[in-house]
Amino acid sequence: MAHPSPAAAAGGFVLWLHGSGGTGELSRAQVAPYFSATPALRLCFPTAPTTPITCYGCEIMINAWFGIPGTPITATTVRDEKGVLKAVEHVHEMLDKEVAAGTSPADIFVCGLSQGGALAVASVLLYPKTLGGCVVFSGSVPLSKSFAERVPPEARKTPVLWFHGMADGLVLFEAGQAGCAFLQKLGMACIFKAYPGLGHSLVDQELQYFRQWVLERLGISQRTEAAGPSSSS
């Protein structure tokens, strides 16, 4: 049995899941600078495997956590739940490894953009422990309502922060609203932040709020934090 490492046992852990077509490194470049002044927080940016996606009548290979049924994603879009659950298993393996290394589940945050946000919320819903939080950017719930009965009591205690642009043409605003409403029906705390005029993209205002929310939940002082991301990553 491996002993907890000092690095894993202290501070918080943020697992960030990118959107389809993205990479972990691109996400790191955009998100990590917001936490550069917080050495106690560790960030992980995995890259999804390449997956064949049919687009405009042609099959292309992109990085994706699971198949894409078509766009835009609406409140009633049906996913390949088998593919979603396989991706959830992969995320759970990463979380289990982190917990086994000594990190408290209460200090773990699963976050993601677009498809990554959908995978983040699905992974949290089916994880048998209460985590520090789940943060969704322009995402949706990729599971049918029938999965509600499979959500363990511990998972329902994980708080969720949800960002969505009201002008999002890829994952419609209605999908975000329906996702948050689904979580609230499960008894989960879900803060929904709507941004008028924002499309399918990450903006500074969202990331600033995200950083503040994570640090507050970890009890980390922000006195040394700059107003924005530092110039170095």
Is 171 in contact with 202 (CB distance < 8 Å)?
A: no
The model carries a pTM of: 0.90
Question: How big is the chain, counted in residues?
Answer: 233
Find, among 68, 51, 69, the residue nearest to 60 by Cα.
51
| Residue that is written with structure tokens 């932040």 in the block | 193
Identify the CATH assignment for 9-218 out of 3.40.50.1820, 3.40.30.120, 3.50.50.60, 3.30.2420.10: 3.40.50.1820
pLDDT in tens, 88-110: 999 999 999 999 999 999 999 99
CB atoms within 10 A of CB 16: 23
pLDDT for residue 70: 84
Q: Which amino acid is at 102?
A: G
Query: Are 226 and 37 contacting, i.e. CB atoms less than 8 angstroms apart?
Result: yes
| Weakest-pLDDT range from 1-5, 52-56, 77-81, 179-183 | 1-5
Helix segments in the chain, DSSP class H: 6-9, 24-31, 81-100, 115-125, 173-185, 204-218
As annotated, the active-site residues are 114, 168, 200
Cα(130)–Cα(189) distance, integer angstroms? 12
